A and B are shown apart, each in its own frame.
Chain A
Amino acid sequence: MMLMEIEQRVVPRWLRIWAYLTLICAAAVLILGALITTFRVGMSDPVWPTEPWFLVVNDHVWANEPAPGFLIEHTHRLVAWCIGVFATVLAIGAWTTEPNRKVRICGLVAVILLLVAYLAFHGEMGGAWRARKAGGNLRWPYATGALCLTCLLAAIGVSAWAWKQRSTGAIFRIVATAALVAVMIQGLLGGYRVFLDQLMGTQLAAIHGSFGQVTFALLAAVVVLAAAPRIGSEIDDRTLVKLSVTLVALVLAQLVWGVWMRHLGSTTAQRLHLFTAFLVFGIGTILAMRIFNGGASLQSLRYSAIQLLGIFAVQIYLGIEAYLGKFAVTGSAALLPPELRPVETTAAVVRTAHTLIGAALLGSIVALAVRIRLMMPVEERTLSYTINVDPSESETRELLRIG
């Protein structure tokens, strides 16, 4: 009973639910982003930044029957703003769980300053857009940009300090902060994809798409770290750790090549995307088999392994359909470069689903890798903790699985 109380004190229940909501919101942004890429409507509104409530307050948008692409793009921006709010609350909430008062205050101040600087930077980018539209020269907001970087460095510094303190839930707070920073960077990448479209729009769109997957993976990791620590047997299988980490790297690379293939039609990326699919499937299957054969100590990971194999099956099917739908076409569409072929609704659904399941695969593997890491004996982990709770509870230290 005492143990449960300590566990719950690490990450409050509301914050866990909040982490789940953030991840769901991120999935919504990914779906909308995938639709934007599928229909190539990323530039349906060349103005950036726009207010998050743009669609709500601008009556003339509705009076003129906006094009579907315009609506998708602005809904993407709106939900992306929501995820910014979610990630902000998540990061602030995470720092409130820091047991060391000094570190807690510094963490909160660093996150809030970073947010203020980021919003100021956004505001100045709006000014830069208006000046550009009025025919003036492009003026970059260097001062607020530098301020953002300074605040980012401060946040990194406080995170390092928290890491050094080795207090309970330090990794949760650090990853939540990293997720917030990733959301911020992702927002800027999306904005610059629009703002600098004519110079490097497609490349920035590809980077935005790739980094979106990284952001999603970080948020998935936050969800796992926010979950109540599992009290179970430890494992002593370093191969499992290596396999899971390798799989994370491979799936990430796989997603990056997929994004590059979709955005730029790179033939090299096409080949690598297919090649890595075999590697991911092979290593994923070995990992799952190792978990199945791992005996009682790995019982708690079996469901994750089954889930992983299920996602593989769906993803391979969707991948084949998406590939055939885009590259193996006949008729008049075959006379066009892949990126210029008209998109049918079925193809759009398949491609969007393939992108989303890809993100789900990365999220699942990141979650599995984090869980495997947390099941390693304390001395095996890079970071071990001295938990600052009642000394009489020392026997619980080894059982707490909070990274």
Chain B
Amino acid sequence: MQVSHEGEAILRFRSGLFAFAVLALAGCGTASSGYDESLRYPPRADVVVIRPPYAEPTELHPPGRRDEFLRTYSSEIGGKIVDPAAVDVEVLAVLTAALEETFGTPAAPKLVSDFTNGEQLAAGSKLYRSQCAHCHGLTGEGRGPTGLFLEPPPRDFRNGVFKSGAGTPRPSGAALQRVIRHGVPGTQMQPYDLLSDQEVTGLLTYVVHLSIRGECETKALTAAFDPEEGLLPIEVAALVQRTATASLEAWRAGWKQELPGVELPTDAEAVRRGYALTTMVGCTSCHGANLQGGAFRYDVWGNVTRVPDLTKADWKWGREPGDLHARIRHGIAAVNMPANPGISERQVLDLTSFLSVIGRPDLLPDDVRKEIHKP
């Protein structure tokens, strides 16, 4: 067969194009298929904040320098921290081995319980790497490369403390699922509403896995550092097991909890009573007289947070009456917002009525609106 000069040129061009495309696509392999099997969870390097300084903070931590500031919480200013670098090397080595034995590796995570299975965890781990790790970090420490520069900082799962819980030591599966599905308004936690239920379940169980692992590590480091309690290398594995079992039980206790439905009084009087209660209950002591927040406080992680402006009604943990009711009744322990077990159900409902319309000046009674939405 004879090929014309022009045809040959076209053939050459096409072959070149094909070779180029093959080469280009050869480089497109992704690492999002999971972690390398040799990868291990790194030991905790940041300090554990046992107690923040006495004095209230006056400003937010500068972006990217949070850990630097946490290290300054010395006992002279009322703070208490545990620096993993100061813990006995032998204890650290045994702790690392015990954690790996109990929780596996990022590529093969383990959580010995009927709470989840290895397959679900591994799937969650893969998805976590591609969607969550750049903010929440490899071990759920909230210090991924992006997380360092976010305000408020991403959740650190390792204390076993979550803001989305309501009345139970750990949040329910539904509450965590809502955080993933709907995101957290006012923060950079985005909604993951296009993921399948299976994927979300995988993510949830992996977050629980990281949380329990982190809790065991934190507990062991704190114990090892405490001059009164102390921790011998031989005791580490047992402590990890005990903590894991207790934490798992705590998760299990509230996992299936659902918020009760709340029937709100809708009359203006209830809103007025709710507004009056904000001073009586003590809301104004942190959120300010006009409830516009702005003050700075420490949270349980030692971070500086800004007290939210309630008049914006930017409810992070749900805007349904049941969510607001639970916040008022049970508080948010992670940010030292107190629970209110002493006030009556009627008072909680009045406060909920008020808060449910606080962001809508058109629904507020004139006198209340004038007070909190001053020009």
Contact = CB atoms under 8 A, between A and B. Distances in A.
Contact of B145 (A40, A46, A256, A268): A40
Interface in A260-281: 260-261, 264-269, 272-273
Interface in A202-238: 202-203, 206
Contacts, number: 123
Given A39-B149, A340-B134, A260 B27 contact: yes
Interface-central residue, B26, B31, B134, B143, by most chain A CB under 10 Å: B31
Nearest to A258: B27
Contact of B35 (A133, A268, A269, A337): A337
Contacts of B192: 198
Interface in A32-51: 39-41, 43-46
Say which size band chain B's interface belongs to.
35 or more
B29 interface: yes
Contact of B150 (A69, A132, A342): A69
Interface residues of A, number: 49
B221 interface: no
A257 B191 contact: no
Interface string A334-366: 011101111100000000000000000000000
Contact of A65 (B45, B148, B151): B151
B63 A266 contact: no
The SS class assigned to the A binding surface is helix
A202 B28 CA distance: 12
A196 B312 CA distance: 28
Given A65-B60, A249-B20, A335-B42, A342 B148 contact: yes
A267 B60 contact: no
Contacts of B31: 264-267, 337, 339
Contacts of A392: none
B111 interface: no
Contacts of B145: 39-40, 339-343
A197 interface: yes
B363 interface: no
The SS class assigned to the B binding surface is loop
Contact of A43 (B63, B190, B312): B190
A310 interface: no
B137 interface: yes
A389 interface: no
A269 B131 CA distance: 21
B40 interface: yes
B138 interface: yes
Interface string B136-152: 01100001111011110
Contacts of A201: 130-131
Nearest to B146: A40
Given A44-B150, A196-B194, A199-B194, A266 B188 contact: no
B36 A70 contact: no
B183 interface: yes
A268 B29 contact: yes
A342 B150 CA distance: 13
B151 to A, nearest CB: 5
B40 A44 contact: no
B23 interface: yes
Contacts of B280: none
Given A44-B188, A260-B27, 9 more contacts: A39-B146, A66-B151, A67-B150, A198-B194, A256-B27, A266-B27, A268-B27, A339-B134, A340-B145
7 contacts: A196-B194, A197-B131, A199-B195, A201-B131, A253-B24, A260-B28, A266-B30
5 pairs of A and B residues whose beta carbons are closest in the complex: A46-B190, A335-B42, A269-B27, A265-B31, A257-B27
